[in-house]
Amino acid sequence: MKNISFWEKNWLTDYDYVVIGAGIVGCFTALKIARENKNAKVALIERGILPLGASTKNAGFACFGSISEIEKNRKEMSDDNLLSLLELRIRGLEKLRNDLGDKNISYSNCNGYELFFDNNGLEQRIYKINKLLNPLMNKNCFSLCNKDIKRFDFAKEIVVGLAENNREGSVNPGEIIFSLKKMLGSLGVDCYFSTEVESFEETSKKIFLKLKSSNQTIDIKTNKLAICTNAFAKKWFEMEDISPGRGIILLTNEIPDLKIDGCFHYNQGYYYFRNLGDRLLLGGGREIDIKNETTYSFGSNRKIRQKLIEDLKTFILPNRDFHIESDWSGIMGFGKDKLPLIKRISENIVLGVRLGGMGISIGSIVGEKTADLILEK
């Protein structure tokens, strides 16, 4: 530790709790710790200027799953386990909105929709999913709305079915993190951005971390450590069931008289789009090149980009002039198990990761449960 003063050393180096990762999970973890231990010294460390994974790079869908996505999940797990997963998403969204306030995260109850390219048996499929969700809902949330295909100006010869979800909305992911940072600051949490944890080592008394920021390397110590870096946690825990998945998003120019309004999905939730004012945001397509999208590298995939643009031209924005104004990507965390990974690594180290592309929905609860684990006596 070079060029660190006596005062800096005493101020910086000794913490009660350190949380690595300032995405939604990490922020909610630090928030719960600070609220439960008002006299504790808490630090939140993030290697990016902004959260590096997907917390501020996602599409801002406040959703729990589309019909075809839930149908796919139903083939992969029992109904009881699926209901537990869906309940986690629903309650997580409620917690996010209640804790931060709808106004502070630009929540809009805009409704969600799913596009279908085969209308056979769609009413019965909707009925089955509504029946499955009865234990969690006080009324049906999915309904058939084929009449709206024309209203949204989709290519009706391709999009032949449309289902609406009255429990879906949209948020501003940037405002979520901004609001959480303000709350953490008011509770006295030290937030260090652009600071990478190069390594950590646990001893019988303390956990020692080596941090690197700009041209400085700083050693700090803490009593307890929470790791909330989603897919990037694999760096330290190679044996854990955590795998990266890149998500690509395109944003068009402003399109005059854009008819699309709301959040939309198709093909088992792998594709999604929404309007941002008069612009259209479209993302997904990871399933057509899973091998190359299982990566920690940000960037774009030409094959997926071409597919997204083709869908825009063919049935989402048919006969409309548009161009792609910007694009970006985020790295999500997946596993064979669709439930998040909240685990005690040792007596003083816990892990809260593997959001499965549902960070907006479940990040608040995963963070709170991670905090509960580290706060256990």
Q: Tell me the mean pLDDT in the region 66-91.
A: 96
In this predicted structure, the answer to whether residue 1 has a pLDDT above a threshold of 60 is no
- 256-301: per-residue pLDDT in tens? 999 999 999 999 999 999 999 999 999 999 999 999 999 999 999 9
Read off the tokens for 174.
Answer: 């940037």
Q: Is the dihedral of CA 7, 18, 176, 285 positive or negative?
A: positive
**320 contacts 174 by C-beta, under 8 angstroms:** no
The percent of residues in the chain predicted with pLDDT above 90, rounded, is 90
Read off the tokens for 159.
Answer: 């999009």
Residue ranges per structural domain of the chain: 6-56+175-241+337-375, 243-333
The CATH superfamily label for domain 243-333 reads D-Amino Acid Oxidase, subunit A, domain 2 (3.30.9.10)
Interatomic CA distance for residues 331 and 160, integer angstroms? 33
Crossing angle for the helix pair 173-186 and 79-100, to the nearest 10 degrees: 60
In this predicted structure, the answer to whether residue 94 has a pLDDT above a threshold of 60 is yes
Interatomic CA distance for residues 331 and 353, integer angstroms? 12
- The per-residue pLDDT for 10 is 66
| Confidence (pTM) | 0.95
Interatomic CA distance for residues 336 and 362, integer angstroms? 17
- The per-residue pLDDT for 87 is 97
CATH 3.50.50.60 fits 6-56+175-241+337-375, yes or no: yes
Read off the tokens for 372.
Answer: 């509960």
- 214-249: per-residue pLDDT in tens? 878 889 999 999 999 999 999 999 999 999 999 999
Specify the 3-state DSSP secondary structure of 28.
helix
> 3-state SS of the chain: helix, strand, coil percent to 5?
35, 30, 40
Specify the 3-state DSSP secondary structure of 314.
helix
